[in-house]
Amino acid sequence: MALTTLKSLNAEIKQLEAQKKLVEKRDGEVPKALAVLQRYAKVLTLAQRRQLAKLMGETVEPLSRRAADASKGPLKGRKLGSVAPKYRLPTGETWTGRGLSPKVFTAWAKSAEGRAWTKANPGAKFPAADGTNEASKGSAKPSKTARAKPGAKKATRKATKIVTKAGAIGKKAAKAASKSTKKRVAKKA
Protein backbone atom coordinates (compact mmCIF):
# COMPACT_ATOMS: atom_id res chain seq x y z
CA MET A 1 0.00 0.00 0.00
CA ALA A 2 2.80 2.31 0.65
CA LEU A 3 3.76 2.08 -3.00
CA THR A 4 0.31 3.01 -4.28
CA THR A 5 0.08 5.96 -1.95
CA LEU A 6 3.50 7.09 -3.08
CA LYS A 7 2.47 6.83 -6.75
CA SER A 8 -0.80 8.64 -6.10
CA LEU A 9 1.02 11.38 -4.21
CA ASN A 10 3.50 11.79 -7.09
CA ALA A 11 0.60 11.99 -9.59
CA GLU A 12 -1.12 14.55 -7.40
CA ILE A 13 2.12 16.57 -7.14
CA LYS A 14 2.54 16.54 -10.93
CA GLN A 15 -1.07 17.64 -11.35
CA LEU A 16 -0.61 20.50 -8.86
CA GLU A 17 2.61 21.58 -10.58
CA ALA A 18 0.78 21.69 -13.94
CA GLN A 19 -1.96 23.80 -12.36
CA LYS A 20 0.70 26.09 -10.87
CA LYS A 21 2.24 26.60 -14.31
CA LEU A 22 -1.20 27.45 -15.77
CA VAL A 23 -1.88 29.93 -12.94
CA GLU A 24 1.53 31.56 -13.41
CA LYS A 25 0.93 31.80 -17.15
CA ARG A 26 -2.51 33.32 -16.57
CA ASP A 27 -1.14 35.72 -13.98
CA GLY A 28 1.39 36.90 -16.57
CA GLU A 29 -1.38 37.52 -19.11
CA VAL A 30 -3.82 39.25 -16.74
CA PRO A 31 -1.88 42.52 -16.44
CA LYS A 32 -1.61 42.66 -20.26
CA ALA A 33 -5.35 42.13 -20.60
CA LEU A 34 -6.07 44.75 -17.95
CA ALA A 35 -3.81 47.24 -19.74
CA VAL A 36 -5.73 46.66 -22.99
CA LEU A 37 -9.05 47.12 -21.19
CA GLN A 38 -7.82 50.35 -19.62
CA ARG A 39 -6.72 51.60 -23.01
CA TYR A 40 -10.19 51.03 -24.43
CA ALA A 41 -12.10 52.15 -21.32
CA LYS A 42 -13.65 55.03 -23.28
CA VAL A 43 -15.85 52.64 -25.24
CA LEU A 44 -16.88 50.64 -22.17
CA THR A 45 -20.08 51.40 -20.36
CA LEU A 46 -19.97 52.73 -16.81
CA ALA A 47 -20.95 49.33 -15.42
CA GLN A 48 -18.16 47.61 -17.37
CA ARG A 49 -15.65 50.20 -16.12
CA ARG A 50 -16.81 49.55 -12.55
CA GLN A 51 -16.25 45.80 -13.00
CA LEU A 52 -12.78 46.44 -14.44
CA ALA A 53 -11.90 48.73 -11.53
CA LYS A 54 -13.16 46.13 -9.07
CA LEU A 55 -10.89 43.49 -10.65
CA MET A 56 -7.93 45.85 -10.45
CA GLY A 57 -8.78 47.09 -6.98
CA GLU A 58 -9.28 50.71 -8.03
CA THR A 59 -12.14 53.17 -7.83
CA VAL A 60 -13.98 54.38 -10.91
CA GLU A 61 -13.61 57.99 -11.93
CA PRO A 62 -16.08 58.91 -14.67
CA LEU A 63 -14.45 59.98 -17.94
CA SER A 64 -16.67 63.01 -18.24
CA ARG A 65 -20.31 63.87 -17.85
CA ARG A 66 -20.84 63.82 -21.62
CA ALA A 67 -19.15 60.41 -21.97
CA ALA A 68 -21.27 59.05 -19.13
CA ASP A 69 -24.42 60.39 -20.80
CA ALA A 70 -23.36 58.93 -24.15
CA SER A 71 -22.96 55.49 -22.63
CA LYS A 72 -26.58 55.49 -21.45
CA GLY A 73 -28.00 54.97 -24.91
CA PRO A 74 -29.25 56.79 -27.96
CA LEU A 75 -29.70 60.54 -27.98
CA LYS A 76 -33.38 60.29 -28.90
CA GLY A 77 -35.59 61.86 -26.27
CA ARG A 78 -32.83 63.69 -24.47
CA LYS A 79 -33.45 67.16 -23.09
CA LEU A 80 -31.79 69.87 -25.16
CA GLY A 81 -32.47 72.85 -22.96
CA SER A 82 -34.81 75.77 -23.27
CA VAL A 83 -35.33 77.74 -26.47
CA ALA A 84 -36.08 81.45 -26.50
CA PRO A 85 -39.72 82.20 -27.36
CA LYS A 86 -40.33 83.47 -30.88
CA TYR A 87 -43.92 84.64 -30.43
CA ARG A 88 -45.70 86.38 -27.53
CA LEU A 89 -49.42 87.14 -27.35
CA PRO A 90 -50.69 90.35 -25.72
CA THR A 91 -52.02 88.12 -22.92
CA GLY A 92 -48.45 87.03 -22.09
CA GLU A 93 -48.42 83.46 -23.46
CA THR A 94 -45.26 82.58 -25.38
CA TRP A 95 -44.39 79.99 -28.00
CA THR A 96 -41.01 79.03 -29.45
CA GLY A 97 -42.42 78.53 -32.92
CA ARG A 98 -41.56 74.83 -32.91
CA GLY A 99 -44.13 72.12 -33.47
CA LEU A 100 -47.84 72.71 -33.74
CA SER A 101 -49.08 76.09 -32.64
CA PRO A 102 -50.67 75.99 -29.17
CA LYS A 103 -54.45 76.12 -28.88
CA VAL A 104 -54.21 79.51 -27.17
CA PHE A 105 -52.44 80.93 -30.23
CA THR A 106 -54.90 79.48 -32.75
CA ALA A 107 -57.83 80.72 -30.65
CA TRP A 108 -56.25 84.20 -30.46
CA ALA A 109 -55.69 84.24 -34.24
CA LYS A 110 -59.39 83.47 -34.79
CA SER A 111 -60.53 86.13 -32.32
CA ALA A 112 -61.39 89.69 -33.37
CA GLU A 113 -58.17 91.02 -31.83
CA GLY A 114 -56.09 88.44 -33.69
CA ARG A 115 -57.78 89.13 -37.03
CA ALA A 116 -57.26 92.87 -36.56
CA TRP A 117 -53.58 92.29 -35.77
CA THR A 118 -53.19 90.04 -38.84
CA LYS A 119 -54.73 92.76 -41.06
CA ALA A 120 -52.33 95.33 -39.63
CA ASN A 121 -49.32 92.98 -39.98
CA PRO A 122 -49.79 91.03 -43.23
CA GLY A 123 -47.50 88.06 -43.65
CA ALA A 124 -46.68 87.73 -39.93
CA LYS A 125 -47.94 84.65 -38.15
CA PHE A 126 -48.16 85.94 -34.58
CA PRO A 127 -46.75 88.93 -32.64
CA ALA A 128 -42.98 88.56 -32.18
CA ALA A 129 -41.72 87.93 -28.66
CA ASP A 130 -39.03 90.61 -28.86
CA GLY A 131 -41.57 93.26 -29.85
CA THR A 132 -40.42 93.69 -33.46
CA ASN A 133 -42.75 92.89 -36.31
CA GLU A 134 -41.72 89.96 -38.52
CA ALA A 135 -43.17 91.62 -41.59
CA SER A 136 -40.66 94.45 -41.21
CA LYS A 137 -37.79 91.97 -41.52
CA GLY A 138 -38.55 91.48 -45.20
CA SER A 139 -38.90 87.71 -44.89
CA ALA A 140 -42.68 87.77 -45.05
CA LYS A 141 -44.70 87.29 -48.24
CA PRO A 142 -46.14 90.38 -49.90
CA SER A 143 -49.65 91.27 -48.85
CA LYS A 144 -52.68 89.98 -50.70
CA THR A 145 -53.43 93.40 -52.12
CA ALA A 146 -49.96 93.61 -53.66
CA ARG A 147 -50.28 90.18 -55.26
CA ALA A 148 -52.33 89.65 -58.39
CA LYS A 149 -55.54 87.81 -57.71
CA PRO A 150 -55.94 84.50 -59.57
CA GLY A 151 -59.42 85.50 -60.77
CA ALA A 152 -58.00 88.70 -62.26
CA LYS A 153 -55.38 86.73 -64.15
CA LYS A 154 -58.05 84.46 -65.59
CA ALA A 155 -60.20 87.43 -66.67
CA THR A 156 -57.19 89.07 -68.33
CA ARG A 157 -56.40 85.89 -70.25
CA LYS A 158 -60.03 85.61 -71.39
CA ALA A 159 -60.11 89.21 -72.57
CA THR A 160 -56.85 88.72 -74.48
CA LYS A 161 -58.27 85.65 -76.21
CA ILE A 162 -61.42 87.53 -77.19
CA VAL A 163 -59.41 90.43 -78.59
CA THR A 164 -57.17 88.12 -80.59
CA LYS A 165 -60.19 86.19 -81.85
CA ALA A 166 -61.91 89.44 -82.82
CA GLY A 167 -58.72 90.50 -84.54
CA ALA A 168 -58.56 87.18 -86.37
CA ILE A 169 -62.22 87.50 -87.31
CA GLY A 170 -61.65 91.08 -88.41
CA LYS A 171 -58.67 89.99 -90.54
CA LYS A 172 -60.73 87.23 -92.13
CA ALA A 173 -63.56 89.64 -92.85
CA ALA A 174 -61.15 92.17 -94.32
CA LYS A 175 -59.57 89.49 -96.47
CA ALA A 176 -62.97 88.29 -97.65
CA ALA A 177 -64.06 91.87 -98.39
CA SER A 178 -60.93 92.55 -100.36
CA LYS A 179 -61.44 89.35 -102.34
CA SER A 180 -65.02 90.28 -103.11
CA THR A 181 -63.98 93.76 -104.21
CA LYS A 182 -61.30 92.27 -106.39
CA LYS A 183 -63.87 89.97 -107.95
CA ARG A 184 -66.23 92.85 -108.55
CA VAL A 185 -63.46 94.88 -110.10
CA ALA A 186 -62.45 91.92 -112.25
CA LYS A 187 -66.07 91.42 -113.38
CA LYS A 188 -66.43 95.09 -114.33
CA ALA A 189 -63.28 94.96 -116.35
Which pLDDT belongs to residue 31? 78
pTM of the model: 0.32
Stated as kind and residue range, the H or E segment containing 164 is: helix 150-188
Which pLDDT belongs to residue 178? 62
Which pLDDT belongs to residue 140? 44
Which pLDDT belongs to residue 164? 55
> Which pLDDT tens digits describe the chain residue by residue (189 residues)?
567 788 888 899 999 999 988 888 888 887 788 788 778 777 878 888 888 788 777 765 655 555 555 555 566 666 777 888 899 998 889 999 888 989 999 999 999 999 999 999 988 889 988 877 644 444 444 444 455 555 656 666 655 565 555 555 556 655 665 666 566 656 666
Q: Is 95 helix (H, G, I), strand (E, B) or coil?
A: strand
What is the separation, in whole angstroms, between the first and last Cα of the chain? 163
Which pLDDT belongs to residue 136? 45
Q: Rounded to the nearest 5 degrees, what angle is found at the Cα of 128, between the Cα atoms of 124 and 132?
A: 95
- Whether 60 and 49 have beta carbons less than 8 Å apart is answered as yes
